[in-house]
Structure 1
Amino acid sequence: MASLQDQLKNAGLIDAKKAKQIQKEKSKQHKQAVKSGQTTENESKAEAQAARLAKAERDRELNRQRQAEAEKKAIAAQIKQLIETNRQPKHEGRENELEYNFTDGKKIKKILLGEQAHGRVTRGQLNIVKLGDGYELVPKKIADKIAERDPAYVLVANTVSSDAQDEDDPYKDFVIPDDLMW
């Protein structure tokens, strides 16, 4: 198959002199492109390399974010499982219900507890933790495990203080009854 230049010659649209001139110009352009193309090639390679490095950095950052999100979900699932498997009853039998007030963020919440559960919460044997929109009671050991993972879930963790009584306290001989409710 003949080149386009040969076809144009045969058709009589261009003559041999014009064809040689076109060939010379084409050759000049090619030589100039080769000479200046080395720097252009190097620049384009450098730009391509920089783009690849930037893309790799963005991909690493996205991967770190995804991994952190997956880790956060795994911790939330562990906490939920700990709470569900170790929750304690709020009422046992036909006990009187007592209100227990506590704070959840900036709001004051109350939970109705049986007498035994109320006593165990105030002594620090049971702690109140948040599960979804509700609140559950769990033993202190479990609440400590939950607090290691995310302390925001543990709302009430009372500790029994063993403070020595003041020597000059005029009421030290008077014992306050445990069943005194305000």
Structure 2
Amino acid sequence: MRNPLQDQLLKAGLVKKSKVAEVVREQAKQRKGKGHPKGDPGQAPGTPVVDTQRLKAEKAQADRELAAQRNAQARARELRAQVQQLVEAHRVATGGDIAYRFQDGELIRQLWVDAGTRAQLSRGSLLIVRDGGGHAVVPRAAAERIRERDPSMIVLDHAADADGPDDDEDPYYAQFKVPDDLDW
């Protein structure tokens, strides 16, 4: 079945009868879905030519990146759980009549401790770590294991502060030593 344009072109002598018949057959095949276009023989008619290998490689790369991201999140959750277990297992009981103040970022925090705990905190044998929304006092050995997993959990470590670069920053102030057990 030819369309009127094909009939007009045939009457004008611009196309041959065999060429019109070939085009009609090709159109009929495409309508019925039996024929393949001149591109990829396995591709359905009417679909654009796409580089399937490139698409598969991109999808595989995206899947690998997503899996790596999920693994990293799982590892971070696992490390947080390990830190929480270490804090709970090695927590030193605090409570007393002395307010021990320390700096946590921009804020000044306070724990109530006794004289022995205060002396150990000043020497650096006990450290203060973050515990959920609060703070906990733990021995140095447990704090070192916590530091391996997440160094940001350590809030106060007087032994590390004494070895830190603060002593060398300004030589003028090095002559004025401030005792660690200074009450505020």
Given the two structures, how large is their TM-score scaled by the length of structure 1? 0.65
Give the secondary structure class of the aligned counterpart of 1:159: helix
CA contact (8 A) 2:130 2:153 kept: yes
CA RMSD of aligned residues (A): 3.5
Q: 1:1-182 to 2 correspondence within 5 Å?
A: 24-27=22-25, 36-38=38-40, 47-91=51-95, 97-159=97-159
Q: CA deviation at 1:120?
A: 1.0
Q: CA deviation at 1:115?
A: 1.2
CA distance in 1, matches of 2:58, 2:183: 66
146 and 108 in structure 1: CA distance in 2 versus 1, 3 angstrom threshold? same
Q: CA deviation at 1:69?
A: 0.3
SS of residue paired to 2:112: strand
CA distance in 1, matches of 2:99, 2:145: 26
* Identity, % of aligned positions: 31
Structure 2 residues without counterparts, runs of 5 or longer: 1-17, 30-34, 164-179
Q: Note closer, same or farther for the CA distance 1:54–1:40 as it changes in structure 2 (3 Å cut).
A: same
Residues in 2 aligned to 1:79 and 1:149: alpha-carbon distance in whole angstroms? 7
**Runs of 5+ unmatched residues, structure 1:** 1-19, 163-177
**Bigger Rg, structure 1 or 2:** 1
1:101, distance to aligned residue in structure 2 (A): 1.4
